[in-house]
Chain A
Amino acid sequence: MSEQKSLLLGRRDFLRTSAAASALSLAAPARLAFAQDAPINMQTWSAAVDTVQSHINAFEKETGLVVSYGNSPWAQYREGMVAKFVGGAPLDMMWVSDSWLPEWAEAGWISPVDEFESLMKYNDEAEQFCTDSMTYKGRQYGLTYYTDFMAFLYDEEKLTAAGFDAPPESWEELVQQSLVMKEKGISEYPMMLAMAQESWLIEFMASLVYSHGGRFTDENGDAIMHEDEAGAVEALQWVVDAVNKHGVISPACVETGELSGLKAFASGNHAFAMVAKYRLRMLNDPEQSQVAGNVKQAMMPKGPGGEHATVGWMRFHGMATQAAQDQQRAENTARLIEWFGGKANGEYKFQKLLFLDIGAGFGVKPLFDDPDVQAAYDAYGDVEIIQKQQALAKKKDVVTPWFGEWNETNGAAWQSAILGNSDVRAALKKSAAKWDELKASY
């Protein structure tokens, strides 16, 4: 009995000791972390990680400040950041998409940076739509790290084979050229348009609408997308006709995401495509594309009352509110934002590196004159066209706190019209009604 008792106590002692040891070992890294000087916490999505890290290392050497750099996948970045904001994770600087700005600003998770003169001085050299995209309710929330626009690309070989000397200037001309290509058996669906319900959809729709001279909302933020003259009616009607009447766009476009469409274009299935401009590099890389060397950029075709306008978007370096509330943290964070979004040692180093490494666009105009940038662009594109098109880029006019909710309805309405399940005007009226309803409720 006594033997059994001692065994029982021994086991309990063992369990108790094990539990204590486990707790200590788990807590040890935390104690070490708290003991160190607080670093600047920088959070990004997992893009160009090496490039970011090299620029951070240079920053640390230059300033003596320490940066704690974390990254997570792009597709889940927003959800992860929301959990981190809510959970109070230490954050100072982070990458922000223009689409999330109203949500994050309204929630008080990020703070304006327009009180830092050292950051505002770069606005003079930034594209206007970039600055506009970082501005919410009159306050600027960061400095641009990357920007791009929706580009119109074409396969020169197919165009020549169809007997055309130049790419289409207008959407109507695109239909005519496509019909010839179909007739000659060059491509079954010459135009690649990705209209699946995904994050890219609004960019595709906005490009079509802007190039037709329309808008989704007016200056006051009221819905005009359903209006015949000023809205999206012509643009959506063109898509509906291209799919159902002319057969130059596949009906499967409503299931085609940007990436799938890109790969289809890279495999040589299409003659025309609307994709992000930075895809040009990949499409002309023989390692990645079957049509390498043939892909050229043209100005976005225009509708009857439109111009060659397109949509531009951007991501920026933002400052967390928890950093802004502490003067020293805010100043250190502003230095890091300037290092990435402004000039580092007198040049737009990070934006240039990002462009040279992965072809990501930049939002500061002086870089177009940089010889390295020009040489890189010349290898796969036409810098003049790129600059000309970027100058016609406009920010998305639907980025609001209710954008995500409205976008679901709007995307479904467009898809419904494309599939012939509803009339174009009825679809856009539904979209406008949803916009008005949400605007009133927020």
Chain B
Amino acid sequence: MSETRTDSAQTAAAGIDYRRRQRLSRLAQKLVIFLCSVVLAFYVLAPISWLVSSAFQTEAEIVSVPPHWIPENPTVKNFTAIFGATEDEEITYETRSGVDPAAGGFIPSTAKDLPKAMWNSILVATLVVILNLLVGVPAAYAIAKIRYWGRNGSVYFILTTRVIPDIALVVPFFLVIRKLGLLDTISSLVITYLAVTVPFTVFILMQYFEGLPDELDKAARVDGCSRFQALIRVFLPLSMPSIVAVVLFTFLTSWNEFLLALMFTQTSASQTLPILLAAFTSDFTVSFSFLNAAGVLAIVPPVIVAIIFERYIVSGLTAGAVKG
């Protein structure tokens, strides 16, 4: 006790307040973290803020210097052009959007197709997710838990399909789709997206299933479960993080996919959102304002999906990264 007092006295005598120093150090650390967080948040949020802000600006306001982060003359005409169109009206010389002053000369005439394209994208992405799980979960379970001849070979084969670039698959896919008579249909996208996403799904789930103890499988079988029941009742509930990762991956891949959709779709009946968004930049005109309004709508579904599965995302993304 007396020694401690002596130390304090010596420290005080030396004029060094270590506690204060420690407090200042912690404060500085927090300040640095806070500033970094602010910079990071700005870096991430600024483009999205500009996307949303400019969606409500006129084209003239968008190109103003300095830029207006808060619109001075906000307008919703981009959204009116998207949602205000009547769907079934026959397009004639009189009804074409080019002569409709309300549409504005720089709003693409295909603006009214955007809800349809969104629906196509949602439909394709949802079907791909469902079919991925239907195919991928049993396949991954079989590879992970059933020992059979050629197991390693099948794993390597599945992995091999992942290293082939999409561009190399375009023409073969095109020939198959054309032979099937599926050009310009939603089905063509679902089939080809499955070919791209199923290997990843199987790989991720297989890694996760392998991490689960074999004893679980054996216990389920002893209790009378068939293989299928063991998968459904035991393994699936334990694999939610990896299932969510797969759902997110396949949904976002399908949602954003461009190359195959470009090749296989031709009309608004099957065109997905990325194709329509790209088509808004024609060789004649482009409206940043309208493009950004369409961009705002395009990010809504993925954001909703991310919010729903948010609590699983981090654990799901690392699923299969290491063997447990």
Contact = CB atoms under 8 A, between A and B. Distances in A.
Interface of A: 4, 7-8, 11, 25-27, 29-31, 33-34, 43, 45-51, 53-55, 57-58, 69-76, 79-80, 83-84, 86-89, 259, 263, 266-269, 278, 281-282, 285-290, 292, 353, 356-360
B178 A73 contact: no
Contacts of A289: 59-60, 63
B65 A87 contact: no
Contacts of B286: 259
Contacts of B281: 73-75
Interface string B274-285: 010011111111
Given A88-B178, A89-B174, A290 B60 contact: yes
B187 interface: yes
Interface stretch (B7-15, B46-54, B91-99): B91-99
A83 B178 CA distance: 12
Given A57-B92, A269-B65, 20 more contacts: A29-B181, A30-B182, A47-B284, A48-B282, A50-B110, A51-B96, A51-B98, A70-B267, A71-B266, A71-B279, A72-B275, A73-B279, A87-B175, A89-B174, A263-B288, A268-B65, A290-B60, A290-B63, A357-B98, A357-B99
Of B181, B267, B278, chain A has the most CB atoms within 10 Å of the CB of B181
Contacts of B265: 72
B228 A11 contact: yes
A353 B91 CA distance: 14
Interface string B160-199: 0000000000110011001011111101000100000000
A181 B122 CA distance: 54
B294 to A, nearest CB: 13
Contact of A83 (B63, B64, B170, B283): B170
Nearest to B176: A87
B72 interface: no
A287 B59 contact: yes
Contacts of B191: 26
Contacts of B91: 50, 53-54, 57
Contacts of A31: 181
Given A50-B109, A70-B266, A353 B182 contact: no
Nearest to B279: A46
22 contacts: A31-B181, A46-B280, A57-B90, A57-B91, A57-B92, A71-B266, A72-B266, A72-B275, A72-B279, A74-B283, A75-B281, A80-B263, A86-B174, A278-B284, A285-B105, A287-B59, A287-B106, A290-B60, A290-B63, A290-B64, A353-B93, A358-B284
B284 A48 contact: yes
Question: Which 9 A-B residue pairs are closest in the complex by CB-CB distance?
Answer: A30-B181, A70-B266, A357-B98, A46-B279, A50-B109, A73-B278, A87-B174, A288-B59, A47-B282
A58 B282 contact: no
B29 interface: no
Interface residues of B, number: 53
B234 interface: no
Of B228, B265, B283, B287, chain A has the most CB atoms within 10 Å of the CB of B283
Interface of B: 58-60, 63-65, 90-93, 95-99, 104-106, 108-110, 170-171, 174-175, 178, 180-185, 187, 191, 226, 228, 262-263, 265-267, 275, 278-288
A43 B91 CA distance: 18
A50 B105 contact: no
Nearest to A263: B63
A293 B66 CA distance: 21
Contacts of A43: 266
Nearest to A281: B105
A198 to B, nearest CB: 12
Given A58-B93, A267-B63, A358-B285, A70 B58 contact: no
Of A26, A27, A268, chain B has the most CB atoms within 10 Å of the CB of A26
A89 B180 contact: no
A287 B282 contact: no
Contact of A266 (B63, B170, B175, B183): B63
Contacts of B178: 87-89
